[in-house]
């Protein structure tokens, strides 16, 4: 593992920094750190925020930086994993949005397994941000054991008729399309008999019900299908081979460096806040110095795990256990940081809007505490990550 840039990577890093400096400046009070937050309850502010983000993403897309691993002929930039790593580092350091939702999940699947007609229909508008996508995988009884999914798709002439339910569907209330796993052969072993379909969210029989989180944020949804007709031409890959289609990835940078950078920035805010409280003669601040020191050390560990993943990828390896370690450690660290924010804020930490010095440093203890709850669930639960580490990494037998 090397920590210094090569001359080529140093030049690339400077190019990205110059581009960000010329084209992006985060607005006061706005956050772009993911989808699990509470959002803005003011419609006008939220509309302005979305407009700013869309304009910035258009500029990224014009450079091929929205989907940097994609081939240039599909609107990407053919970047190596190290170039992607540097790009992601600099964008997250600048607190700039990096991609459109689901772009690098459904896009590569269509690219590698879709027909030329499917590629022409879906890839260009996806990069231009003209359509929004959501993922229809998890079900009420099929989360960690996704292959046991029960949403049925029965062939009827040139259509499939889909019935069932999906849950925890991020962004379904805004989505135009869903990429969905359905069971097309109920008698096959559970990893077989699954087909991968592209489903129009405006088709008759689709209904979306919001799942509001404890921070009053609307990110997740339940989606119900009642005799929804999906044209057979919207199937990606072979019938009953959807499980294997759904595991498609390109050579993406998987370091999760974004979470490490966000964690470091949060701890820096806490540290500066405590220093100012101490200078003001507040004796309450002193006992928390060791706790904040622990968080600072943990953010350094989180970053080192990210560097381990990218080093493996740069050598042409596949970071399996290491990627799971990075995801699990980072998501659990985000929760520990929010607990520390609550500790140092005292009773004021229960307020949604920070007061006094907390406000000056943008320490949103209550909101961070609530919005990090799903961090160890989304994108693969900590339990799943521990199983991967145990079986694939340590060679332990399955329980």
Structure tokens at 97: 């949005």
CATH dotted code for 257-393: 1.20.140.10
Average pLDDT, the chain: 89
What is the pLDDT, as a whole number, of residue 102? 82
What is the pLDDT, as a whole number, of residue 247? 84
Question: What are the b/e assignments for 146-182, b being 16+ CB within 10 Å?
Answer: beebebebeeeeebbbbbbbbbbbbbbbebebbbbbb
pLDDT at 224 over 80: yes
Most confident option among 44-48, 51-55, 267-271 = 267-271
| Cβ atoms < 10 Å from Cβ of 131 | 13
CATH dotted code for 132-245: 2.40.110.10
Average pLDDT over residues 117-134: 92
Specify the range with the lowest mean pLDDT, choosing from 245-249, 351-355, 362-366: 351-355
pLDDT band at residue 201 under the 50/70/90 scheme: very high
CA atoms of 212 and 380, how far apart (whole Å): 20
Query: What pLDDT digit, counting tens, does each position of 148-187 carry?
Result: 999 999 999 999 999 999 999 999 999 999 999 999 999 9
Select from 160, 239, 153, 146 the least CA-distant residue to 191: 146
What is the pLDDT, as a whole number, of residue 32? 53
What is the pLDDT, as a whole number, of residue 137? 93
Structure tokens at 88: 């992601």
pLDDT at 43 over 80: no
Which residues are the active-site residues? 253
Average pLDDT over residues 314-334: 93
Select from 275, 255, 285, 242 the least CA-distant residue to 106: 242
What is the pLDDT, as a whole number, of residue 389? 93
CATH dotted code for 7-99: 1.10.540.10
pLDDT band at residue 357 under the 50/70/90 scheme: low
Could you tell me if 109 and 246 are in contact, meaning their C-beta atoms sit under 8 angstroms apart?
yes
Select from 132, 116, 91 the least CA-distant residue to 261: 91
Which is more confident, 301 or 246? 301
pLDDT at 263 over 70: yes
pTM, 2 dp: 0.86
What is the pLDDT, as a whole number, of residue 42? 62
Query: Cα 185 from chain centroid?
Result: 31
pLDDT band at residue 145 under the 50/70/90 scheme: confident
**Strand-pair category, 206-212 with 218-231:** antiparallel
Average pLDDT over residues 139-155: 90
Average pLDDT over residues 89-106: 89
Domain boundaries defined on the chain: 7-99, 132-245, 257-393
pLDDT band at residue 399 under the 50/70/90 scheme: low
CA atoms of 332 and 329, how far apart (whole Å): 5
pLDDT at 40 over 60: no
Q: What percent of the chain has pLDDT over 90?
A: 60
Could you tell me if 249 and 108 are in contact, meaning their C-beta atoms sit under 8 angstroms apart?
yes
What is the pLDDT, as a whole number, of residue 334? 96
pLDDT at 38 over 50: no
Average pLDDT over residues 326-340: 96
pLDDT band at residue 34 under the 50/70/90 scheme: very low
The kind and range of the H/E element at 92 are helix 81-93
Which is more confident, 143 or 205? 205
Specify the range with the lowest mean pLDDT, choosing from 26-40, 56-70, 182-196, 241-255: 26-40
Q: What percent of the chain has pLDDT over 70?
A: 93
Side-chain-facing half-sphere of 262: CA atoms under 13 Å: 22
Average pLDDT over residues 18-36: 71
Secondary-structure breakdown of the chain: helix, strand, coil percentages, each rounded to the nearest 5: 50, 15, 35
């Amino acid at each position: 593992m090397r920590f210094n840039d090569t001359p080529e990577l140093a030049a690339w890093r400077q190019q990205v920094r110059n581009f960000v400096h010329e084209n992006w400046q985060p607005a006061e009070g706005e956050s772009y750190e993911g989808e699990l937050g509470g959002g803005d309850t003011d419609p006008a502010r939220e509309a302005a925020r979305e407009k700013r983000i869309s304009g910035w993403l258009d500029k990224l897309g014009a450079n091929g930086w929205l989907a940097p691993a994609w081939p240039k002929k599909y609107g990407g930039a053919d970047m190596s994993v190290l170039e992607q790593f540097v790009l992601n580092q600099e964008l997250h350091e600048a607190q700039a949005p990096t991609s459109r939702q689901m772009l690098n999940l459904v896009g590569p699947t269509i690219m590698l397994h879709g027909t030329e007609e499917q590629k022409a229909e879906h890839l260009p508008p996806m990069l231009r941000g003209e359509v929004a996508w959501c993922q229809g995988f998890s079900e009420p009884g099929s989360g960690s054991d996704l292959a046991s999914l029960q949403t049925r798709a029965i062939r009827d002439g040139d259509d499939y008729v889909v019935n069932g339910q999906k849950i925890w569907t991020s962004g379904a209330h805004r989505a135009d399309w869903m990429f969905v796993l359905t069971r097309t052969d109920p008698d096959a072993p559970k990893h077989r008999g699954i087909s991968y379909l592209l489903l129009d969210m405006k088709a008759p029989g689709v209904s979306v019900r919001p799942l509001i989180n404890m921070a009053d944020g609307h990110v997740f949804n339940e989606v119900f299908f009642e005799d929804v007709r999906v044209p057979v031409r919207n199937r990606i890959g072979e019938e009953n081979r959807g499980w294997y289609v759904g595991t498609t990835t390109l050579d993406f940078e998987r370091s999760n460096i974004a979470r490490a950078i966000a964690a470091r920035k949060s701890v820096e805010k806490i540290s500066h806040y405590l220093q100012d409280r101490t200078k003001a003669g507040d004796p309450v601040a002193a006992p928390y110095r060791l706790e904040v020191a622990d968080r600072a050390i943990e953010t350094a560990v989180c970053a080192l795990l990210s560097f381990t993943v990218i080093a493996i990828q740069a050598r042409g390896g596949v970071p399996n256990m290491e990627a799971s370690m990075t995801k699990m450690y980072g998501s659990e660290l985000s929760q520990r940081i929010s607990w520390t924010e609550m500790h140092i804020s005292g009773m004021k930490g229960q307020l949604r809007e920070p007061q006094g010095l907390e406000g000056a440093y943008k320490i949103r203890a209550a909101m961070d505490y609530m919005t990090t709850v799903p961090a160890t669930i989304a994108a693969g639960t900590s339990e799943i990550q521990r199983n991967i580490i145990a079986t694939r990494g340590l060679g332990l037998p399955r329980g």
